[in-house]
Amino acid sequence: MTQLRPIGQSLLTTPPLILGGNVFGWTADQATSFAVLDAFVAGGGTMIDTADVYNKWVPGHVGGESETVIGAWLRHRGRRDDIQITTKVGMLPTAGGKELEPGNIATAVEDSLRRLGTDYIDLYLAHRDDAKTDQAVVAQSFDALVTAGKVRVIGASNFTADRLDSAISAQTQGGFARYQALQNEYNLLERGKYEGAVQDYCVEHGIGMTPYYGLAAGYLTGKYRNPEDITGARAHSVGKYAKGNGPRVLAALDQVSATHGVSLAVVALAWIAAQPGIAAPIASATSVKQVEDLLGATRLTLTADDLATLNAASAP
């Protein structure tokens, strides 16, 4: 693995790849999830991303399934200190409230700690903006968690530059813990939710970006090249890419991956890692083979020509 990078201006560090936990308890059962997690750690990985709402969208699920699987794995493994856990609050209502209301934050963090079987969360994110709750109130609620030692570092997800700025202003004015990380969607086919104002703000203010959907729901692996390929749990998510400039981006990935002798997924993640303000991309895996391949992105440095080819093909 390459050198650890800071998350924002905090002491929390991350390797150049974060393992996405949205598949745990969904497309990866517990045994498969354990094998994937073991392979990730064996390959040098240390940070795992999840959320309290994962995976409520599955029929019969209520949310918290991914955290529960990770917690079971931590107990089975018998060690927590070399693993960093990221989870989120704001999309799963609790008895304490909803979104970023103080009661929901206070209740949700206890639920997440219980499911994860730990007494602290390394990075706790506001899963999405909540325009109805005053940002100063939200800031105080998150700060209380840091002060209590239940959370080490806080961050945000799915925020615009303006709302991120106003949230951090409220935190600074109140003397509260500040958002150190941002998690917005970003990949070769979805560049607008980060590039521009958000990226400029993150770079200027030292906020580490840990983008999700780095492989565009799997489309950038090359497994969905033809209409008949677009089936399964992610069919709805990947169908839109095939109708846009997806084929053009896949052709560019084919070219660069052939040059380096690596998979398309490795190139797609290495492109993200090369962008300004990126702390680490997030990618999920449902097999040991997949996670071992994804870890290859930590060893690939794209050339200027590679980046130019990919940028041209993926230009909005």
Write out pLDDT tens, residues 137-190.
Answer: 999 999 999 999 999 999 999 999 999 999 999 999 999 999 999 999 999 999
- Over range 253-277, report the average pLDDT: 97
Q: Which pLDDT score is estimated for 2? A: 37
Residues 17/291, Cβ–Cβ less than 8 Å: no
The helix (run of H) or strand (run of E) holding residue 312 is helix 304-314
β-pairing, 5-6 vs 84-89, is unpaired
Q: Is residue 148 part of a domain?
A: yes
Say yes or no to pLDDT of 234 above 80. Answer: no
pLDDT band at residue 15 using 50, 70 and 90 as cut-offs: low
Q: Which pLDDT score is estimated for 279? A: 93
Q: Which pLDDT score is estimated for 196? A: 97
Q: Is residue 16 part of a domain?
A: yes
Q: Which domain CATH number covers 99?
A: 3.20.20.100
Q: Is residue 294 part of a domain?
A: yes
Q: Is residue 242 part of a domain?
A: no
- Over range 291-311, report the average pLDDT: 96
Q: Which pLDDT score is estimated for 233? A: 62
Task: Give the Å distances, CA to CA, from 156 to 8, 62, 68, 174, 291.
Answer: 12, 23, 22, 18, 26
The whole-model pTM stands at: 0.93
pLDDT band at residue 240 using 50, 70 and 90 as cut-offs: confident
Domain count, the chain: 1
- Over range 81-87, report the average pLDDT: 95
The residue with tokens 């393992």 is 19
d(CA 81, CA 97): 32
Q: Is residue 261 part of a domain?
A: no
pLDDT band at residue 14 using 50, 70 and 90 as cut-offs: low
The chain-wide mean pLDDT, for the chain, equals 93
Q: Is residue 175 part of a domain?
A: yes
Q: Is residue 150 part of a domain?
A: yes
Q: Which pLDDT score is estimated for 38? A: 98
Say yes or no to pLDDT of 273 above 70. Answer: yes
Say yes or no to pLDDT of 1 above 50. Answer: no
User: Strand locations in 184-240, DSSP E?
Assistant: 208-209
Query: What domain range is 203 assigned to?
Result: 5-216+272-302
Residues 18/49, Cβ–Cβ less than 8 Å: yes
Q: Is residue 263 part of a domain?
A: no
